[in-house]
Amino acid sequence: MTRVVAQGTFDILHPGHVHYLRDAADMGDELHVIVARSVNVTHKAQPVVPDEQRREMVAALKPVDEAHLGHPEDIFVPIERIQPDVIALGYDQHHDDEQLKAALAARGLDCEIRRASPLEAEAAERLLSTGRIIDKVLDERD
């Protein structure tokens, strides 16, 4: 059995998230998703939706076998617990694959790192990021 881990913030769910998780699920037999805690989100705006609510929403998605909240201090703790065979990164996630491989190896974790494919946007108005959704709400509700 091939166990896959995907991870992300998953603030306001959109088709890009669903595509990423479907792609990740196709990489193995069991998909675990680690939902980042707000305190660990430093590369973009803080999530609007509370941590546990984001985890609950991700857990409800069909491709997901289990959804976990990330660890508040050490992002590798859930990975050590889950022991994945594959870590599936989103095609545009900010992680450096080589640095991640080195960090995993330093902790004795041996797993493949793969990137999900991009979602082809059929139309320019398709909202494939939480930031774009928030911007549109603010523009239209102002």
Q: What is the pLDDT of residues 37-80, one digit of tens each?
A: 999 988 888 899 999 999 999 999 999 999 999 999 998 999 99
**Could you tell me the pLDDT band of residue 108, with boundaries at 50, 70 and 90?**
very high
Domain that holds residue 18: 3-141
Count other C-beta atoms under 10 Å from residue 137's C-beta.
12
pLDDT at 91 (0 to 100): 85
User: Does the annotation flag 95 for ligand binding?
Assistant: no
Nearest to 76 by CA among 87, 66, 65: 87
- Domain count within the chain: 1
Strands (E), the chain: 3-8, 30-35, 66-69, 86-89, 112-115
Output 48 or 121, whichever has higher pLDDT.
48
User: Does the annotation flag 15 for ligand binding?
Assistant: yes
Q: Specify the CATH number for the domain of residue 54.
A: 3.40.50.620
Tokens encoding 91: 């095609």
Tokens encoding 41: 């989100």
Considering the entire predicted model, what is its pTM? 0.90
User: Does the annotation flag 92 for ligand binding?
Assistant: yes
Question: In the chain, count of helices (H) and strands (E)?
Answer: 5, 5
User: Does the annotation flag 10 for ligand binding?
Assistant: yes
User: Does the annotation flag 9 for ligand binding?
Assistant: yes
